[in-house]
Each structure stands twice: as structure tokens, then as C-alpha cells.
């Protein structure tokens, strides 16, 4: 029986990937919201380089301890691969079908692990070898059903051509092989276009072409909203905008409202139109950003290349942006569009701050209170409220909320015992929807919310500042290029979700996967720093197999000082005056280097392996310790203890 997985398909796939974030062999660590059997599907596609690609499930990955220079490895960025199970690991073994990116062959691999649930973020069609609420108003256009082919507003939908050069997270000093892709975008006025963030991820060049035109124009990426999967583009050419009429945003549609998706998907070079209806509106998992935001489910066909294209209502108003699809043997015709409420939040955020700052969150782990005895025990008199199980140390809520509090209202809106709040007239929606949107207004970082809570049987009101969540293990790397530090051939880098996807779980190890999945950051800037690999040299003899035989190891201390992040480690190495550099790793592994010998060997190691520098550029900047350089940090202050196995909505638990 096949497992239902929402498959995430970032366009321009160069290969299919295996289990993504934390699909551990031990099912008890991971809860899944969608519990069915699935097939994970990757499209047939071809890079303009005709590069050979690799399947992501590669348990026999070879170590990189050769003394030869390390070649550029054409691995997969998140825009090239299925974003499998960023939050929803699956529950059973199943066949996973992988299609080679060069479209020359495909193969079926029998997975030996639980396959994750994933969304397929559709959009970029792989090329083969052949602002704000003020939405830049235009005159309303009345369109009769069936006459979309003659509608002038279709001319506002353009085709996006992107050249991507993604980082190599395993060899962080270099880039992966260049590849190209196509997607869709649309005009919103003021010289700007909207598309999906995954359409222009790791871009080195973006070009756009209007309908019926044979000229491509260079576009610039102004802002990316990773968690909401939106990107804002600009085109400076005045010729591109001649005669252009930007689109007008419509209201949030209702169930069964007709919807038409327009874009440039697979199957041809001209514009494509598919029709359907609104099937569901609820808080949805956004595969690219690994976030939960309001989403619209439709039954109109969404295919690779549709990403970034608009969805229209019958009045010719844009009611959303196509971005992902749910694929399974058990379901069909389930596509998703980003509603205009989320799009407008992205635009207004950019107008306010000149960049995208993100959606705020409360930073608490909640449990539903559907059991009457549980409510009575907590002193909750009515059939409402959700229990605070844990508060993130980096959130402002940690200053006002305590474990065991019951949240019964949020800005005056009553919270049901099943974790929902009223939505429109006859519907209910997940409580976390209120965090990002207050009635008809939007919430931004720094906004204040009023919480009604029951504590020890007494009702009280508190205020908390809402801010974006701080991730101990980031889903995306700010700035694109990962940090790294090489000390006598020992390569250190922060643990990140792209690195986990690239290395696969066998190389990362169960312990690090568990930390990545469950641990919380205790302070802003905290990172899990790992020994990524050892570049074999006589100065590190005996350690060359440490990161390979023992999988990736977290480095905990240097000369007795607890390591806070990769920049802190670089600072400790630079400021060390001792004879030895003593690295302490998890499970009591130890590596000792003579400091002067390590320094003198660095240049030779870099030359032997063809590495341009011993550290990433960001580590050359002055180190500023947010906790204070001399601040004593105890072992328990760091996020190395697992949370419950049910963080994201399983068995009544959810983060908001």
C-alpha cells in the first residue's frame, strides 16, 4: 500500500533525493501528520550541462580523506531535489521511484527506512538541451468563464528563466555545478514581479520573457521570503513594461469558488491555463520554507513550471500563487496556492523594512485539552484552551509564560480545546493562524499579543512580543554559502538542514539527527558545530577516519571552553596560546593537536586539497559574543536534550 506523502518538487531537479530531514529508522522519534503510504516522485528532466546525477539515498558514501584535491561535486540543492519530509517523516517502507535528471534512465529503489511525508513544490520546469496591501490597482476586468484565452490580464504572466549555482554543503568552500530552470511570475506594478522563492533559489542570473515576445530581460531578485515561498523581482528595462497592465489582488476565496491557474508548465512553450475549484482553506505545510501558513487547496492541475504563476477568480483577480502539489497513489487533483493574505504580508513586510523579516511566532509547544478530566485537573472551567508544554528559551513568551499554563484566548479570541479558533462565519482554523494574522490586519516581528491564560486555576491576562522563531538547525543558510573552519585538516561546519539532506542520515548519524529534530536553541546565535570531515595529513594522523567511522561528530569544547557556534570556535582557535589544541567531541571522543604544528601545516593542506582559504569569509570578521566573551556557559544551557516526539501536531501537540 503506497504512502501518502505530500511530495515536494522543487523545479529544475537534477536528481531525486532520499530521506530528507530526519527520516530515522526508528519510528518512535518521528510523528507524522499525514499517515499514509506514499510514492515520492521526481520528474524526468535534463540539465544544460548533461551532468551525471546521483541518487540521494547513498548509504555507501565514500569518505573524503584522499590527499588528492577535492573535486567539485554536482550535488543537489534544495531547488534541485524533492524536499522530502522537512517536517513529516513517514511511517512505513515503500518503493521510491527516482528518475534521472538527464532523462536517460530511471530506477526504482527499495527504501529500507521510513519514507517521509513531503509536499511537492512544483514549479520550475527543468530546461533540457533543446508591494504590500497597496497592490498597484488597475481597472477591474470582468471575464466570462471560458474566455480566458482572450483576457488581456494573461499578458501580465511571464516566464522565468533562472540559472542556479547552489552551495556545496559537504565541501563548503566551493559551489555545485550550475544548472538552469524555468518557472512563472506575474506583474504587480511599479516595475516589480512576483514568483516563488524556490524558482530563484541560489540564482546567479534571472531572466523573464513576456507572452508573445521573443526577448528575454534580465531581472533582479529584491527579496526572498523562504518560509512563505515568495520572491520579489524587478526589471529595469522600460521596453519590458511597455503596454503592461499589472494584476489586481482579490479577496480570499470561499469553498467551491472557481479558480484558474495560469503559467508556463511542462508540455509546451506557450502559456497554459487549467481550471478547477477551491477545495479547502486551512493552515498548510509550506514545503520550501518548512513552515505552516494559510493555504488554499484546489483541484486545478498544477505541474512543473506552474510555480510562481497566478490563480485567478472569475473576475480576473489574482487570488493566489501556485507553489506545490500533493502526489500519491491514493489521491489526485490536490494542488496548493499561496493566498493573497500571505502574499500581501510578504509585500508589506518588504515595504516596511526594505527586506523580508518573516512571520512572527509565539514560541510555545502546545497540547490540546479535549479530555474533560485533564481540563478539570488544570482548573479550566469551560471546554476551551490549550496547554503550554514547553516555551522556547529564545522567545519573549519565556518571560511571561510557564509550563502548565493554559491559553484560553489570544487577543480576545477564544481558543477551542482542540486548538482551533473561529474563521469567517461557519469555519474554524488552527490557532497558529492568529499568530501571523489578526482579523484583517497582519502581524509582524515586534508586534504585541494579549494572552488570556489560566494558571493554577486562576485567570489572568499577559502580553507577549511576537518574533520569528530561532532555529537551532536552520532550514536555509542566510547568505547562501555555509560557514566552515579548517584546523590542521579538521573541517568544522554548523549543522544545517541542507547539509543533512546532502549527507543522508547514514553519514550524519542517529544522535545528530535527533538533536536536529528535537533540540531547541537556548540563545540566539547558538549552533551545533560538527566535524564534517578530516583532510588526511601527517599532522592529524590517527584522526583521519574519525568523522567517517564514527559518523559526523559534534564538537563540544576547545581546551575546556564550551563552543557556542562556529564563529566562537574560530575565535577560540585564534586566541589560543596553549601548546595544544584539545577538541572534545560527543561520546567523549578526543582530538589533540600541537598548536604550532597545526598552524604551520595549514597552508600545505590547503594547497594539497585545492582549498582557497582555511575559513569562510564571515569568520574573518571580529567575533562579537552575544552572551559576553567571559560568560560562563554550563552544559545544560545548550540545546542538546530532545523534546517530545510529537512537536508538530501529532497527538494534539503543535508549535505556534
Active-site residues, by number, are 198, 229, 307
The residues that bridge with 406 in the sheet, in sequence order, are 387, 454
Q: How many CB atoms lie within 10 A of CB 296?
A: 27
DSSP symbols for 487-534: ETTEEEEE--HHHHHHH-HHHH-HHHHHHHHH---SSTT---EEEEEE
Burial bucket for residue 596 (CB in 10 Å: 0-12, 13-18, 19+)? exposed
φ and ψ at 275, to 5 degrees? -125, 155
CB-CB contact of 216 with 208 (8 Å):
yes
Q: How many CB atoms lie within 10 A of CB 483?
A: 23
Q: Which DSSP category does 116 fall into?
A: P
What is the torsion angle, in degrees rounded to the nearest 10, for the CA atoms of residue 549, residue 550, residue 554 and residue 559?
Answer: -90
CB-CB contact of 467 with 360 (8 Å):
yes
CB-CB contact of 502 with 76 (8 Å):
yes
Three-class SS state of 398: helix
Nearest of 21, 14, 652, 25 to residue 287 by alpha carbon: 21
Nearest of 407, 414, 409 to residue 428 by alpha carbon: 414
In sequence order, what E strands does 347-447 have?
Answer: 364-368, 386-391, 406-410, 413-414, 420-423, 427-430, 437-438, 441-442
Q: How far is residue 436's CA from residue 152's CA, in Å, rounded to a whole number?
A: 34
The residues that bridge with 338 in the sheet, in sequence order, are 321
Q: How far is residue 637's CA from residue 628's CA, in Å, rounded to a whole number?
A: 15
φ and ψ at 325, to 5 degrees? -145, 150
Q: How far is residue 406's CA from residue 409's CA, in Å, rounded to a whole number?
A: 9
What are the CA-CA distances from residue 56 to residues 71, 107, 157, 495, 500 (Å)?
18, 13, 34, 18, 11
Nearest of 473, 565, 568, 566 to residue 526 by alpha carbon: 565
CB-CB contact of 564 with 525 (8 Å):
yes
Residue tagged 530531514 (cell numbers): 21
Nearest of 526, 542, 535, 524 to residue 589 by alpha carbon: 542
CB-CB contact of 558 with 576 (8 Å):
yes
Q: How far is residue 118's CA from residue 40's CA, in Å, rounded to a whole number?
A: 8
Amino acid at each position: 500500500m503506497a504512502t501518502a506523502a505530500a511530495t515536494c518538487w522543487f523545479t529544475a531537479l537534477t536528481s531525486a533525493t532520499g530521506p530528507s530531514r530526519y527520516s530515522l529508522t526508528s519510528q518512535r522519534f518521528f510523528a507524522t501528520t499525514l499517515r499514509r503510504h506514499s510514492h515520492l516522485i521526481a520528474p524526468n528532466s535534463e540539465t544544460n550541462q548533461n551532468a551525471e546525477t546521483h541518487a540521494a539515498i547513498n548509504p555507501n558514501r565514500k569518505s573524503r580523506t584522499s590527499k588528492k584535491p577535492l573535486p567539485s561535486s554536482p550535488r543537489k540543492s534544495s531547488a534541485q531535489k524533492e524536499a522530502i519530509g522537512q517536517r513529516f517523516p513517514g511511517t512505513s517502507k515503500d518503493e521510491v521511484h527516482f528518475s534521472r535528471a538527464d532523462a536517460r534512465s530511471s530506477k526504482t529503489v527499495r527504501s529500507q527506512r521510513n519514507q517521509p511525508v513531503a509536499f511537492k513544490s512544483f514549479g520550475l520546469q527543468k530546461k533540457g538541451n533543446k508591494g504590500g496591501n497597496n497592490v498597484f490597482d488597475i481597472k477591474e476586468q470582468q471575464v466570462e468563464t471560458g474566455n480566458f484565452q482572450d483576457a488581456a490580464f494573461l499578458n501580465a504572466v511571464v516566464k522565468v528563466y533562472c540559472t542556479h549555482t547552489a552551495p556545496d554543503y559537504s565541501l563548503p568552500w566551493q559551489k555545485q555545478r550550475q544548472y538552469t530552470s524555468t518557472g512563472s511570475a506575474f506583474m504587480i506594478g511599479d516595475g516589480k514581479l512576483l514568483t516563488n522563492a524556490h524558482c530563484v533559489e541560489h540564482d546567479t542570473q534571472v531572466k523573464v520573457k513576456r507572452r508573445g515576445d521573443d526577448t528575454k530581460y534580465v531581472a533582479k531578485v529584491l527579496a526572498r521570503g523562504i518560509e512563505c515561498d515568495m520572491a520579489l523581482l524587478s526589471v529595469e528595462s522600460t521596453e519590458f513594461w511597455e503596454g503592461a497592465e499589472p494584476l489586481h489582488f482579490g479577496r480570499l476565496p470561499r469553498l467551491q469558488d472557481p479558480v484558474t491557474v495560469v503559467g508556463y508548465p511542462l508540455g509546451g512553450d506557450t502559456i497554459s491555463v487549467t481550471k478547477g475549484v477551491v477545495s479547502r482553506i486551512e493552515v498548510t505545510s509550506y514545503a520550501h520554507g518548512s513552515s505552516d501558513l494559510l493555504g488554499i487547496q484546489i483541484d486545478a492541475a498544477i505541474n512543473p513550471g506552474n510555480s510562481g504563476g497566478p490563480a485567478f477568480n472569475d473576475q480576473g483577480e489574482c487570488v493566489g500563487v501556485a507553489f506545490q502539489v500533493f502526489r500519491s497513489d491514493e489521491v489526485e487533483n490536490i494542488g496548493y496556492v499561496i493566498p493573497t493574505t500571505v502574499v500581501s504580508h510578504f509585500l508589506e513586510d518588504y515595504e516596511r523594512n526594505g527586506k523580508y523579516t518573516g512571520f512572527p511566532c509565539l514560541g510555545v509547544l502546545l497540547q490540546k485539552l479535549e479530555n474533560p478530566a485533564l481540563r478539570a485537573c488544570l482548573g479550566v472551567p469551560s471546554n476551551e484552551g490549550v496547554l503550554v508544554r514547553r516555551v522556547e528559551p529564545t522567545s519573549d513568551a519565556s518571560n511571561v509564560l510557564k509550563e502548565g499554563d493554559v491559553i484560553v484566548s489570544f487577543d480576545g479570541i477564544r481558543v477551542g480545546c482542540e486548538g482551533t479558533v473561529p474563521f469567517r462565519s461557519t469555519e474554524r482554523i488552527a490557532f497558529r493562524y492568529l499568530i501571523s494574522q489578526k482579523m484583517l490586519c497582519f502581524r509582524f516581528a515586534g508586534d504585541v499579543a494579549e494572552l488570556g491564560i489560566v494558571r493554577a486555576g486562576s485567570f489572568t491576562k499577559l502580553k507577549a512580543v511576537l518574533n520569528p522563531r530561532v532555529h537551532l538547525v536552520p532550514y536555509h543558510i542566510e547568505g547562501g554559502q555555509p560557514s566552515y573552519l579548517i584546523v590542521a585538516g579538521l573541517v568544522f561546519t554548523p549543522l544545517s538542514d541542507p547539509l543533512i539532506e546532502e549527507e543522508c542520515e547514514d553519514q550524519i548519524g542517529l544522535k545528530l539527527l535527533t538533536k536536529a529534530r528535537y533540540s531547541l536553541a537556548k540563545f540566539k546565535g547558538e549552533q551545533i558545530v560538527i566535524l564534517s570531515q578530516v583532510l588526511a595529513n601527517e599532522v592529524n594522523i590517527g584522526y583521519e577516519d574519525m568523522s567517517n567511522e564514527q559518523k559526523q561528530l559534534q564538537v563540544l569544547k576547545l581546551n575546556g571552553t564550551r563552543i557556542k557556534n562556529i564563529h566562537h570556535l574560530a575565535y577560540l582557535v585564534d586566541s589560543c596560546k596553549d601548546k595544544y589544541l584539545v577538541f572534545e567531541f560527543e561520546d567523549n571522543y578526543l582530538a589533540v593537536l600541537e598548536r604550532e604544528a597545526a598552524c604551520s601545516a595549514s597552508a600545505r593542506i590547503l594547497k594539497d586539497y585545492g582549498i582557497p582559504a582555511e575559513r569562510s569569509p564571515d569568520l574573518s570578521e571580529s567575533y562579537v559574543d552575544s552572551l559576553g566573551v567571559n560568560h560562563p556557559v554550563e552544559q545544560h544551557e545548550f540545546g542538546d536534550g530532545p523534546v517530545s516526539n510529537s512537536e508538530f501536531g501529532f497527538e494534539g501537540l503543535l508549535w505556534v
